[in-house]
Structure 1
Amino acid sequence: MEKDSNSSLKSALLHISEDGLDSNGERRKLIAEEVKKQLWLAGPLILVSLLQYCLQMISVMFVGHLGELPLSGASMATSFASVTGFSLLVGMASALDTFCGQSYGAKQYHMLGIHMQRAMVVLLLVSIPLAVIWANTGEILKLLGQDPEISAEAGKYAISMIPSLFAYGLLQCLNRFLQTQNVVFPMVMSSGIAALLHIPICWVLIFKVGLEIRGAAVANSISYWLNVLILTLYVKFSSSCSNSWSGFSVQAFHNIPYFLKLAIPSACMVCLEMWSFEMMVLLSGLLPNPKLETSVLSISLNTAATVWMIPFGLSGAGSTRVSNELGAGHPAAAKLAGKVVMTIAIIEGLLLGIVLILIRTVWGYAYSNEREVVEYVANMLPLVAASNFVDGLQCVLSGIARGCGWQKIGAYVNLGSYYIVGIPSAVLLAFVLHIGGRGLWLGIICALIVQALSLAIITIRTNWDQEAKIATERVYDTVIPVNVVS
């Protein structure tokens, strides 16, 4: 393949450069080429993340026209679903960043399809107990002390959204399968079609069919399954996947424990971080003037989550490039890929931070006409800008970690950062020093700083030659002959 020959040439040039035989001009060309490849990957991945994020947002917006109670129920159900389902599936599917990315770099193309099938089997099985939890959402929320009426509405929404749980897991596997092969534009196409069709689907089911709040949840399921169907057809019939997809294989049921060794820590990495942010919202309800604090913190989290899609796309690009080069046995190229994606993340974080600070006095009006809310949001946005900068760095470093297969280390780092440093700091600042909602956010910033510094130190001290050897061993430990069933 042309990409493989380019990668080999790059690695050769890098070794020449390290021996002092290459000119600075050639090194600049290599860096420019790496920047181009990463931006070519990151741009579509950012779009995919935003488009898929829009599905939940569009549904909640439609439900908002049904009244305050359905809106509260749908919002609570969406948050509950993210914490108890979607975050876990995203995390487990992230193991494919390592397995598929390194297999692709090692030219063991048939293994990508087997890794994807294995991940699909595991995620479908995991979705069954998660579906049971979703089916009891209303009762669980009541036990947690939430308002009975809102809990009942949330329960209706979550039950109707259960089919989307299974589709979401499959979608994450398909996305990783294509992403690690640098095939990203079909993902943009399928996500765009699903997002566009989601609007009329919501309108018909909610207002014309009369399903109301349930209609929005059913629309989510339809849109996710539509996205899965489009990508499945692409994988089956496209020449781009002819080497990596050779049909269903019984080998997908083998080596499941080996997959879980990375999938479980991957899930811990994602869940530990996401749960800590949700905990901040719960803690904000214990502050004086809880309605104001909760509203402003929710706006800040929504803003942070939206702009986070940019470093998340960069993280996917960095993970793909690092895993591909390690799998190919090119440690110098993998190291360069890590340096390039970190540089891009720093520039992006600074630019986006400046934008957030410039719009801080007007941004609150997008969510509320209350002057008190708008002024509080204006005070929070500089903190959001600072947290976004650090979060972007840790997000990209986490991508490098996934590309190398450091999920277990990442899980320990996240556990320490958020639950030993972040949440205790937030409680201290908000409730002991009485800084309020800003104190909660400062606690999160403390966690992000510890997380980014820890991952940065690990990355800087990495022996890339050793990582390439480990990647080769991982690839060939899982390589099995093609055994096509259908």
Structure 2
Amino acid sequence: MGTSFPLKYIDRGVFKEWGQISKFAIPSMLLVYTTSGTNELVSVAATMLRNNALAVQSVLNVVTRIFIVFFVNFSIISTNRMGNALGANVPQRAKIIFYASTIIYAIIALIIFIFIFALAPYWGNLFTKDATIVQYIICLSPLVAITMVFEIIGFLYTGLLRGQGRQVVAVKIKLVSFYLIGTPIGWILGLYFQLRLNGLWIGMIIGHSLTSLSMAYLLYTTDWDQQVANCRSRLLDSQKSKSDENPV
């Protein structure tokens, strides 16, 4: 006696609207990879350098990722708040979320800048007792601190754009800022002009600053009423699709 999977117990609705889900899910996934990929490319370039460059980069990766994990979660919160405001048809609240979040993140970014820059000798010694590596970390700390400021603000703006359903725009900004401008410049400065890790991190600053400033401009010039209309249009399309599947 053959057996078959009880398909009759599965609601066919679970197979619907995957196109709409993929439209937002795939760009959101790419947003994660475009950011993490740049850090990996810097690490790859560091392997081509000598004299403890890879060891220093490993320490910097650990320190920066501690903050990155923290702000990725905050980015999700900003996505939800923006989406809720637009879905509730309150454009003014969405606008306030943008300005209030920017102020809060700017304050936090300043605190982290001070921590990385001013306390580099202390957290550097937590990872290694090699005086040469610690001194290298101290020399790089201003560049790392500036990078983190722009990266933190970039996480916020990425989340806000994602909450507006503009993931594709955010992906395009990151691809151009990092892979066409920032990373190539960093590699050229670090490897060709022999600026070593300094050059690589200058490239990171360029990439993150272009990303943050471009997204800030997009959000600042946003037509919030239009974003609410776009959100309601997507909701109506979804409801219409469901009503067509289940006619009275």
TM-score, normalized by length of structure 2? 0.89
> Does structure 2 conserve the Cα–Cα contact (< 8 Å) formed by 1:314 and 1:341?
no
Residue in structure 2 matched with residue 264 of structure 1 by the alignment: 26
- Distance in 2 of aligned mates of 1:415 and 1:356: 27
CA drift of 1:347 comes to 0.5
Residue in structure 1 matched with residue 50 of structure 2 by the alignment: 288
Structure 2: gaps of 5 or more residues: 1-9
Residues 46-445 of structure 1 aligned to structure 2 (within 5 Å) = 249-289=11-51, 292-445=52-205
The alignment partner of 1:338 has SS state of: helix
CA drift of 1:317 comes to 2.2
- Distance in 2 of aligned mates of 1:249 and 1:382: 56
CA drift of 1:379 comes to 1.5
Residue in structure 2 matched with residue 229 of structure 1 by the alignment: none
Q: Residues 68-121 of structure 1, C-alpha deviation per residue, up to 9 Å, x if partnerless?
A: xxxxxxxxxxxxxxxxxxxxxxxxxxxxxxxxxxxxxxxxxxxxxxxxxxxxxx
CA drift of 1:275 comes to 1.1
- Distance in 2 of aligned mates of 1:252 and 1:408: 25
Higher RCO (C-alpha 8 Å, min separation 6)? 2
- Distance in 2 of aligned mates of 1:358 and 1:326: 41
Letter in 2 for 1:405: G
**Cα RMSD for the two superposed structures:** 1.6
CA drift of 1:422 comes to 1.2
- Distance in 2 of aligned mates of 1:304 and 1:249: 45
Structure 1: gaps of 5 or more residues: 1-247
Q: Residues 33-57 of structure 1, C-alpha deviation per residue, up to 9 Å, x if partnerless?
A: xxxxxxxxxxxxxxxxxxxxxxxxx
The alignment partner of 1:329 has SS state of: coil
> Does structure 2 conserve the Cα–Cα contact (< 8 Å) formed by 1:331 and 1:468?
yes
- Distance in 2 of aligned mates of 1:438 and 1:311: 25
Q: Residues 343-396 of structure 1, C-alpha deviation per residue, up to 9 Å, x if partnerless?
A: 100000001111222211121221112111111111222222111111111110
- Distance in 1 of aligned mates of 2:37 and 2:86: 32
Q: Residues 168-218 of structure 1, C-alpha deviation per residue, up to 9 Å, x if partnerless?
A: xxxxxxxxxxxxxxxxxxxxxxxxxxxxxxxxxxxxxxxxxxxxxxxxxxx
Query: Sequence identity of aligned pairs in percent?
Result: 25
Q: Residues 293-341 of structure 1, C-alpha deviation per residue, up to 9 Å, x if partnerless?
A: 1111111111111022343233222211110010011111111111111
- Distance in 1 of aligned mates of 2:226 and 2:115: 41
CA drift of 1:476 comes to 2.1
- Distance in 2 of aligned mates of 1:345 and 1:425: 28
- Distance in 2 of aligned mates of 1:469 and 1:333: 15
Residue in structure 1 matched with residue 6 of structure 2 by the alignment: none
> Does structure 2 conserve the Cα–Cα contact (< 8 Å) formed by 1:363 and 1:377?
no
The alignment partner of 2:32 has SS state of: helix
The alignment partner of 1:420 has SS state of: helix
CA drift of 1:249 comes to 4.7
Q: Which runs of 4+ in 1 moved over 3 A?
A: none
TM-score, normalized by length of structure 1? 0.46
> Does structure 2 conserve the Cα–Cα contact (< 8 Å) formed by 1:414 and 1:451?
yes
> Does structure 2 conserve the Cα–Cα contact (< 8 Å) formed by 1:314 and 1:345?
no
More deviation, 348-357/307-316: 307-316
Aligned pair count reads 233
CA drift of 1:262 comes to 1.3
